[in-house]
Structure 1
Amino acid sequence: MELPVLLGLLQWALIAGAPYTLLPVYGWVMFVAVTLWILTTILFFMILFGAQQKLTFIPWPLTVMVYFAGATVLYLTAFLANAASVDPFYISWYQRYYQQMAAAAFFGAVVTLAYGASAFFSYLTWKGDGGNAATTTVPT
């Protein structure tokens, strides 16, 4: 869960350092990047401090899986919008930010893959029995 937080921070910092308000598509990219970064950070701290023991009425494996699957879809749309709008020949002032926006598109793809991997592993946790190797190999 730490990987999407770190990579998402890097991606939205790259976008925030460029004039993202001049192209409307970057508003969506910035919204997705910042919103999911904040929500993932909150989820990380909730799990870190044991909220699943205090909030037992929430089906945590299913909730985390649905969150990561939704984040993957949202980040995929943001990545595609970012990558499609990176054009080195757009206008002269934009050429200064071409490499920065291209790097943001690259990290958008990496964050999408990280959220997808988190969704996959959350799915495995949700479908699994909740045990691990240490609990299944110890004789009772």
Structure 2
Amino acid sequence: MADFPSKVVTETSSPHSQSSHQGGGSLRGLAASVTTRMDMSFVRSIPAMLMVAEMVTGLLHWALIAGANYMDEPAYGWVMFVAVTLWILTTILFLILLLSVPQRLAVVPWAMTVMMYNSVATLLYITAFLTNAATVNFFWNCYFYGHFGAAAVRPLIR
């Protein structure tokens, strides 16, 4: 036993190559750090499922309007603005919650922020619904009447 050295080094590569595997510049390190930050329990929660449903129906909402000739009625500019803006903001909020930003940025009152976002989004969707429902009759003889009618119902799903 006296022949066994007191300090054994089991390093198989140089220190320079190890730093690149720890996330210094490699995509493997970046992918590992991103996946460890994702809150997979959030994906299985009811709020996340509702946000995914909101993103899918929101995409359908603005796709129905964008696919039609909505330029004939100026009121649909507001409906389109609300639909696209809230779809983008909902997607960003979903990514913020998925990437566990609230745990790392505890200064922001996240519960209040999400509640205020949902309150403002609800009010904007109500105004978009009323605008869409009030002007859908202008397109009665148009091919896109069904698109505008379906888009008028979408904000009620929120």
Distance 1:59 1:102, change over 3 A: same
- The residue number in structure 2 matching 1:31 is 81
Structure 2 runs not aligned, ≥5 long: 1-50
Alpha-carbon displacement from aligned partner over 1:33-73 (angstroms, at most 9, x marks no partner): 00000001000000001010111100000000000000000
* Identical-residue share of aligned pairs (%): 53
Of 133, 149, 152, 1:105 maps to: 152
- The residue number in structure 2 matching 1:95 is 142
CA distance in 1, matches of 2:69, 2:155: 17
CA distance in 1, matches of 2:156, 2:133: 9
TM-score, normalization: structure 2? 0.65
Question: What is the identity, as a one-letter code, of the residue corresponding to 1:100?
Answer: H
Distance 1:72 1:91, change over 3 A: closer
Question: What is the identity, as a one-letter code, of the residue corresponding to 2:110?
Answer: W
State the superposition RMSD in angstroms: 1.3
Structure 1 runs not aligned, ≥5 long: 115-140
Higher helix share: 1
Alpha-carbon displacement from aligned partner over 1:104-130 (angstroms, at most 9, x marks no partner): 1111222xxx2xxxxxxxxxxxxxxxx
In our comparison, the structure showing a higher alpha carbon Rg is 2
Of 44, 61, 64, 1:14 maps to: 64
- The residue number in structure 2 matching 1:66 is 116
TM-score, normalization: structure 1? 0.73
Bigger relative CO (Cα 8 Å, ≥ 6 apart):
1
Runs of 4+, deviation exceeding 2 Å: none
Alpha-carbon displacement from aligned partner over 1:7-58 (angstroms, at most 9, x marks no partner): 1110000000001112100000000000000001000000001010111100
